[in-house]
Amino acid sequence: MDKKNLERDIEDYLITSMLDELPPPAVAEAEGTTVTDIEGDDYLDCFSGISVTNLGHRNDRVEERAIEQIKKYVHVCDYKYQVPIAVELAKKLADVTPGDLQKTFFGNSGAEAIETALKLSRKSTGKHELIALMCSFHGRTLGTLSVTGQAARRRYDMGPYLSSVSFAPAPYCFRCPFDKEYPECDINCARFLEHVIEYSSSNEVAAFIMEPILGEGGIIVPPTEYFEIAEDILDSKEIKFIADEVQTGFGRTGRLFGIEYFDIEPELMTMAKGIANGFPISACTATSEIGDSFEPGDHLSTFGGNPVSAAASLATIEEMEKNNIPQKAEKKGVKARKILEELKDDHELIGDVRGKGLMLGIELVRDDKAPAVEEAEKIVKMMRGKKILIGKGGVSGSVLRVQPPLIITEEEINFLSRKLEDCLNELR
Ligand SMILES: Cc1ncc(COP(=O)(O)O)c(C=O)c1O
């Protein structure tokens, strides 16, 4: 199929709200950090299918384990059958996740894991209110949009959303909601949680949900003290903490889980994206006490814990452990960040460079610090023209996102930064 026909067919046959004037590559194959389109052009993939193929495309170990499982069986359903490989994965997750996280419910997407976590937090506490962050993103289902703190994604004509959700200020130091500087700010954003709880509609708060680093919101990294302060407040009100690791999980930030950078133990954790290096599966892992609160009939997903995806996930975690992938990503991230910070020194368009590991954000600004939205859009397209795929995020869309497969080489990082510099020069 040629590209023109494909584009027409996409318009005619796919329901999508993500059409772009410069169509992205039509992928024929992908390997490692390279995506090849149907016209034979190679692209350096610095977005990993939105932070999914952390081990690179077509990792050998993952592929072999998945094929091995395909030859045994592809689907049953853990409702009427026992699925040993999914149980093996649940045991592994209990082992690698922090603190007392122990029992897992498997779904297919990040949103589904979060729906599960929200239900479990309500069921286990008997309370119903939820607190999330401004700038957060937790998915596109109605429940997950309800806890997403971005008006652009919570369009009014698809609501109403869940009531009983309150939003706390994001720890967005570059655009501090209190107009303060770190550390003199005394981490006001974390302390303010107390007020949000106090003034929530009936003060019946079941859970606080937060990404350890806000991804779609523009790679926002909380100050180290944030979670320590938040934990004290949450504990005093018996509110469960849900760490949404959908985007930060599986080595992306330089640790297996982003929350490992902070001093807090979540009671629920949601995982998807990088969990199986591209095979669809998600997990909501909770303490035993919370996990046991579901009663018969409370929750189910037909495809949840798919055996092929479970095999791929076990192989993904094994590969990460055997080859120290998160630790290597941390080191590469430090170097990449340094290079990007040097670019910032030479280009006023770059207002901030932030992130951990290979979850990096470059916030573009105009003179008055206004978000440089059009410039960000242009750079993503220019980079595509230079055969490099990067992402974009932030509440107004002014943050470039660099989230490559964690196996990216230093040479490739240098290549990316040279091309980015070319784009910045062309925009001057
Ligand atoms: C932090 C976070 N949570 C949840 C989701 C939703 O995941 P999915 O698209 O798999 O439903 C995303 C997706 O980008 C995410 O970044």
Read off the pLDDT of residues 115-130 as tens digits, 9 standing for 90 and up. 999 999 999 999 999 9
Mutate which of 273, 281, 303, 359 for ligand 1 pocket (most atoms within 8 A of beta carbon)? 273
Ligand 1 and 137: CB distance under 6 A: yes
Read off the pLDDT of residues 304-343 as tens digits, 9 standing for 90 and up. 999 999 999 999 999 999 999 999 999 999 999 999 999 9
Task: Report CA 396 to chain centroid distance, whole Å.
Answer: 18
Ligand 1 and 211: CB distance under 6 A: yes
pLDDT in the model for residue 101: 98
Read off the pLDDT of residues 358-371 as tens digits, 9 standing for 90 and up. 999 999 999 989 99
Rounded-to-integer distance, Cα 130 and Cα 208, Å: 6
Q: What Rg value do the Cα atoms of the chain yield, rounded?
A: 21
Phi, psi torsion values for 346, nearest 5 degrees: -95, -10
pLDDT at 268 over 90: yes
Read off the pLDDT of residues 188-244 as tens digits, 9 standing for 90 and up. 999 999 999 999 878 899 999 999 999 999 999 999 999 999 999 999 999 999 999
16 CA from centroid of ligand 1 (Å): 17
Question: What angle in degrees, to the nearest 10, is found between the helix axes of 307-322 and 325-346?
Answer: 70
Beta bridge partners of 399: 363, 393
Atom of ligand 1 nearest to the CA of 109: 10
pLDDT in the model for residue 57: 98
Cβ–Cβ < 8 Å for 337, 355: yes
Token couple for 354: 């932030």
How many residues belong to the chain?
A: 428
Cβ–Cβ < 8 Å for 282, 271: yes
DSSP 392-414: EESSSS-EEEE---TT--HHHHH
Per-residue pLDDT band for 79 (boundaries 50, 70, 90) equals confident
Domains recognised in the chain with CATH numbers? 3-58+325-427 (3.90.1150.10), 62-322 (3.40.640.10)
Rounded-to-integer distance, Cα 9 and Cα 402, Å: 30
Ligand 1 and 109: CB distance under 6 A: yes
8 CA from centroid of ligand 1 (Å): 28
Token couple for 233: 């407040």
Higher-pLDDT residue of 18, 325: 325
Cβ–Cβ < 8 Å for 363, 174: yes
Nearest of 131, 99, 149 to residue 206 by alpha carbon: 131
Q: Which protein residue's CA is at the shortest distance from atom 8 of ligand 1?
A: 110
Q: Give the number of other Cβ atoms within 10 Å of residue 87's Cβ.
A: 14
Token couple for 57: 């495309």
Mean pLDDT of 277-287: 98
Ligand 1 and 139: CB distance under 6 A: yes
Rounded-to-integer distance, Cα 84 and Cα 91, Å: 11
Ligand 1 and 110: CB distance under 6 A: yes
pLDDT at 20 over 90: no
Higher-pLDDT residue of 115, 24: 115
The H or E element spanning position 240 is: strand 240-244
Burial class (CB in 10 A: 0-12, 13-18, 19+), 106: buried
Question: What angle in degrees, to the nearest 10, is found between the helix axes of 307-322 and 84-96?
Answer: 30
Mutate which of 247, 248, 270, 275 for ligand 1 pocket (most atoms within 8 A of beta carbon)? 247
Rounded-to-integer distance, Cα 224 and Cα 132, Å: 19
Ligand 1 and 245: CB distance under 6 A: no
pTM: 0.97
Ligand 1 and 375: CB distance under 6 A: no
